[in-house]
Amino acid sequence: MITTNVDHCFQKAGIDRDRLFYTQGDYGLFQSTNAGNRRTYENEEWIMQGMEAQGFMRNAAGKFEATQSSLLKMEIPADLIPKCPDDGAEMTMNLRSDDKFVEDEGWHKASAAYLDFLKMHAGQHVLFLEIGVGGNTPVIIKYPFWQMTNDNENAVYACLNYSEACCPRQIEDRSIVIAGDSGEVIKQLLL
């Protein structure tokens, strides 16, 4: 799976991280603000401490919620500002927003696995399934899927998108384009 989503929801849904190529980063990771440090760091423990420090309480299911008796601080104590365990610099989200984005060992491994998958299946019957890809970064998923479908006569392109469901004329005879809420459409397909 290739994704431009950085919200960590694939992992939270149980998708094996080894099957994901999260090209634009992952909110479940921090990186040092020191540009020389090319590592990422899991941040779940810090996030949980930050939620508790603001006054959020865990419910019976272990989920954080604001209770009526909770006074939310909307800030964290200075000692909870995350610092890099390796270089002591402040941390930031692992998000491609400038030239300091960290493509760590996991990122490169995922990129190589994705490219290997494409090479191994070149010319074969392939479904390029695009769900909810918008216009912000079409050069990462949308345009390559169109090109790979065009170049492989055995390929089919499928697009499921609420408001941007389309395909080029060159591949429309091998495309399935569905405009709609992806969650609802998938539920209907599973019935």
Whether residue 20 is contained in a domain is answered as yes
CA 12 – CA 2 distance, rounded (Å): 16
92/144 same-domain check? no
Q: According to the model, what pLDDT value does residue 187 have?
A: 92
41/92 same-domain check? yes
Q: According to the model, what pLDDT value does residue 136 have?
A: 85
Q: What is the pTM of this model?
A: 0.85
Q: According to the model, what pLDDT value does residue 134 have?
A: 84
13/94 same-domain check? yes
Q: According to the model, what pLDDT value does residue 124 have?
A: 97
Q: Which residues pair with 91 in a beta bridge?
A: 32
| pLDDT of 110 above 90 | yes
Q: According to the model, what pLDDT value does residue 191 have?
A: 85
Q: Which residue has the higher pLDDT, 65 or 39?
A: 39
| pLDDT of 67 above 80 | no
| pLDDT of 130 above 70 | yes
For residue range 15-27, list pLDDT tens digits in order. 898 899 999 999 9
68/152 same-domain check? no
- Report the domain count for the chain: 2
Q: According to the model, what pLDDT value does residue 30 have?
A: 97
Residue finishing a domain among 74, 105, 136: 105
149/101 same-domain check? no
Instruction: Name the residue among 113, 110, 175, 111 with its Cα closest to residue 142.
Output: 175
| pLDDT of 44 above 70 | yes
Q: Which residue has the higher pLDDT, 57 or 71?
A: 57
Q: According to the model, what pLDDT value does residue 37 have?
A: 96
14/99 same-domain check? yes
| pLDDT of 70 above 70 | no
150/95 same-domain check? no
- Residue 36 burial by CB count (10 A; 0-12/13-18/19+): exposed, middle or buried? exposed
Q: Where are the beta strands (DSSP E) in 38-187?
A: 40-42, 57-58, 64-65, 91-95, 126-131, 155-161, 175-179
Per-residue pLDDT, averaged over 37-41, amounts to 96
Please list the alpha-helical segments (H only) found in the chain: 9-12, 44-54, 105-120, 142-151, 182-190
Name the average pLDDT for the chain.
Answer: 92
Is the separation of the CB atoms in 146 and 168 below 8 Å?
yes
For residue range 140-151, list pLDDT tens digits in order. 999 999 999 999
How far is the first Cα of the chain from the last one, in angstroms, to the nearest whole number?
Answer: 24
| pLDDT of 69 above 70 | no
The domain containing residue 130 runs over which residues? 121-190
| pLDDT of 13 above 90 | no
